[in-house]
A and B are shown apart, each in its own frame.
Chain A
């Protein structure tokens, strides 16, 4: 009798242990398969995006957002180690600039690195000039870049990855911000949403409207 109840207790304990192990393993693999979501998007009213930064351009000059005042600014955050989205988006901006024709003088595409440790002014210079002669590349200290990204509500992260060059990859938004000549936010685009020609047409009509009203 004693034996049987001991046996039952033993079975109960082992069952409990097995359930605990399975639950833990299950939870663990769930977490492995479904990494935690990125922080949920903060509702960013358009007014929340501030065109403000203090950085170094690709020629080594210190610049601020005011440096580009008077022109429409197409601002894109990325980094030169990014082989796919960054060149795709920068080539897209370059195509849009070409489609603008003479109106391109009123527009400046600005590429801001989120990887200033590797993207020096010199690197940025070689990089942006390969895309378009009017393209500006901006870098700075980690703090300056973080401030710029924060003002644009751009969220980026560094993820450790052993196989990546220097052991990390950067995740970053693919947004292109269009800022007005007075520095205010106008619109935000994604490269895949419309052709470069359509983006150029859109900017062109904004330029014309502004000229009529101004």
Chain B
């Protein structure tokens, strides 16, 4: 039994390691006025395919995942997504003017040059916490990724 459990444990190891989601280039835009929501961006890659279920941060009462839908008449509307599918091996990018994390009920203004933690919960990979740098209001992405 002991051997069997050991073998079973070892067998799951490779799956555990590739079940991880790579979270890259996270950043948020500085907010100008207190009480206004902020926006955060990042890229997600899962080699095995996964699903982002929720996002949270101690600096925000709620973090919502928004997609931008543009109608033919040019009206952009935010569409709230309950979850985000990460197809196998594909990098899903959240970027300005497109999909973004809306940080609601901020406990403080997001000041350029500071960082805050952001926890992403995935269906398979579980919780991953990353440090998100706050860039200037005119930023379009972290250095080197623009």
Contact = CB atoms under 8 A, between A and B. Distances in A.
Given A38-B71, A175-B74, A163 B104 contact: yes
A131 B137 contact: yes
B38 to A, nearest CB: 6
B77 A84 contact: no
Interface stretch (B7-15, B27-35, B120-128): B27-35
A83 B35 contact: no
Interface stretch (A7-15, A56-64, A105-113, A122-130): A122-130
| Size class of the contact patch on chain B | 20 to 34
Contacts of B80: 161, 163
A40 B100 CA distance: 27
Given A41-B72, A91-B138, A171 B100 contact: no
A173 B76 contact: yes
Contacts of B33: 80, 123, 126-127
Interface residues of A, number: 39
B64 interface: yes
B76 A171 contact: yes
Given A83-B29, A83-B37, A172 B75 contact: yes
A134 to B, nearest CB: 14
A63 B105 CA distance: 34
Contact of A155 (B35, B75, B103): B75
A155 B97 contact: no
Query: Which of the listed residues A39, A41, A84 has the most CB atoms from chain B within 10 Å of its own CB?
Result: A84
B102 interface: yes
A100 interface: no
B72 A84 contact: no
A169 B59 CA distance: 21
B97 A171 contact: no
B68 to A, nearest CB: 7
Interface in B37-88: 37-39, 62, 64, 66, 68, 70-78, 80
A156 B72 contact: no
B74 to A, nearest CB: 4
Nearest to B33: A126
Contacts of A37: 71
A94 B138 contact: yes
A155 to B, nearest CB: 6
A206 interface: no
B22 interface: no
Given A83-B29, A191-B97, A173 B73 contact: yes
Given A41-B73, A163-B104, A164-B104, A87 B137 contact: yes
Interface of B: 29, 31-33, 35-39, 62, 64, 66, 68, 70-78, 80, 96-97, 100, 102-105, 137-140
26 contacts: A38-B71, A38-B72, A40-B73, A80-B36, A83-B37, A83-B103, A84-B100, A85-B76, A85-B96, A87-B29, A88-B97, A89-B97, A91-B137, A91-B138, A91-B140, A127-B32, A131-B138, A156-B75, A157-B75, A161-B80, A171-B77, A173-B73, A173-B74, A173-B75, A190-B74, A191-B97
